[in-house]
Amino acid sequence: MKKSLWIFWIAISALLASSRLYAETEITCSLYKNHKVATDTIRASLEQADDAIISLQALMKLCPSMALEMADLASTLHPQLALDIFNTVFDHISSDQVAALTAILVKNAPQEMRSEVIQLAVTKSPESAQAIVDAVIAMDLMDSTDVIVAAISGGADPATITEPTAAGTPSALPGGLPPVATVPGNTTTLGTGNGSGGGTASPN
């Protein structure tokens, strides 16, 4: 009997501590006066949680304005949960934040999971495919070809996905139509013509 009461008391104490921590997080986020306090409180919640994803779900409801920062904290502490973190945070952000979320998780995920993160992101937000590719390539953690292949595996249209070149001009994927603008390394350039559309392609 004593043992049962002791276990019950431990469970109640843990629940109260967790509730107090979430309450502190809610107050911190609602006031949002001290960003470091908010971040430290969220980190503590994620570190102490028995289930990081359940904790993240609760924190997202309390403080949606810090969704991307929570994703960064959660995936830094639990990189192997990158896909679950994406699914949790995705429901609390706008479409124009999907690329940033993907880049954060690619940065923190184990190397072997990075392509899966990109695939999931494109599958969940196909309209953000190009922005996702651009954001991940900008991180310089993956070969651009691998990024594009992962995006296509997630459902992106190969004909519409481009990658930045050294000059900052998009280049077409293999099999897609090349852009009108010329880029360094092309074997042909548009001739000058007379300005009436009569220019012809001439070898470099």
- When the pLDDT of each residue in the chain is averaged and rounded to a whole number, the result is 76
Alpha helices in 63-141 (DSSP H): 67-77, 82-90, 98-108, 114-124, 129-139
Cβ pair 84, 76 in contact under 8 A = no
Examine the fold and report which residue of 34, 64, 90 is the final residue of a domain before the chain moves on: 90
What letter does residue 95 receive in the DSSP assignment?
G
Co-location of 131 and 145 in the same domain? yes
Co-location of 68 and 115 in the same domain? no
Co-location of 63 and 117 in the same domain? no
Query: pLDDT tens digits for 120-136?
Result: 999 999 999 999 999 99
77 falls within a domain: yes
Co-location of 109 and 151 in the same domain? yes
65 falls within a domain: yes
Co-location of 58 and 117 in the same domain? no
The upper half-sphere exposure of residue 47, i.e. CA atoms within 13 Å in the direction of its Cβ, equals 8
Co-location of 56 and 106 in the same domain? no
Query: pLDDT tens digits for 174-194?
Result: 344 334 333 444 443 334 444
Co-location of 82 and 62 in the same domain? yes
Asked whether residue 79 carries a pLDDT value surpassing 50, the answer given is: yes
The upper half-sphere exposure of residue 29, i.e. CA atoms within 13 Å in the direction of its Cβ, equals 21
Domain that holds residue 64: 16-90
189 falls within a domain: no
Examine the fold and report which residue of 90, 118, 152 is the final residue of a domain before the chain moves on: 90
Query: 122 versus 200: which is more confidently predicted?
Result: 122
Give 71's pLDDT tier (boundaries 50, 70, 90): very high
Query: 172 versus 98: which is more confidently predicted?
Result: 98
Which residue from 101, 95, 97, 23 is spatially nearest to 58, judged by alpha carbons?
23
Asked whether residue 7 carries a pLDDT value surpassing 70, the answer given is: no
Cβ pair 101, 89 in contact under 8 A = yes
Q: What is the pLDDT of residue 40?
A: 85
Co-location of 83 and 98 in the same domain? no
Total structural domains in the chain? 2
Q: What is the mean pLDDT of residues 92-119?
A: 97
Dihedral angle computed from the Cα positions of residues 74, 75, 78 and 79, in that order, rounded to the nearest 10 degrees: 180
194 falls within a domain: no
132 falls within a domain: yes
User: Which amino acid is it at 137?
Assistant: I
Co-location of 78 and 103 in the same domain? no
190 falls within a domain: no
Query: pLDDT tens digits for 13-66?
Result: 443 344 444 444 444 465 445 667 778 888 998 999 899 999 999 998 888 888
Helices (H) and strands (E) in the chain, counts: 9, 4
What letter does residue 189 receive in the DSSP assignment?
E
Q: How many residues are listed for the chain in this entry?
A: 204
Co-location of 119 and 155 in the same domain? yes
11 falls within a domain: no
Co-location of 54 and 99 in the same domain? no
157 falls within a domain: yes
Co-location of 82 and 111 in the same domain? no
Q: What would the DSSP string read from start to end of 156-176?
A: --TTT-EEE-TTS-EEEPTTS
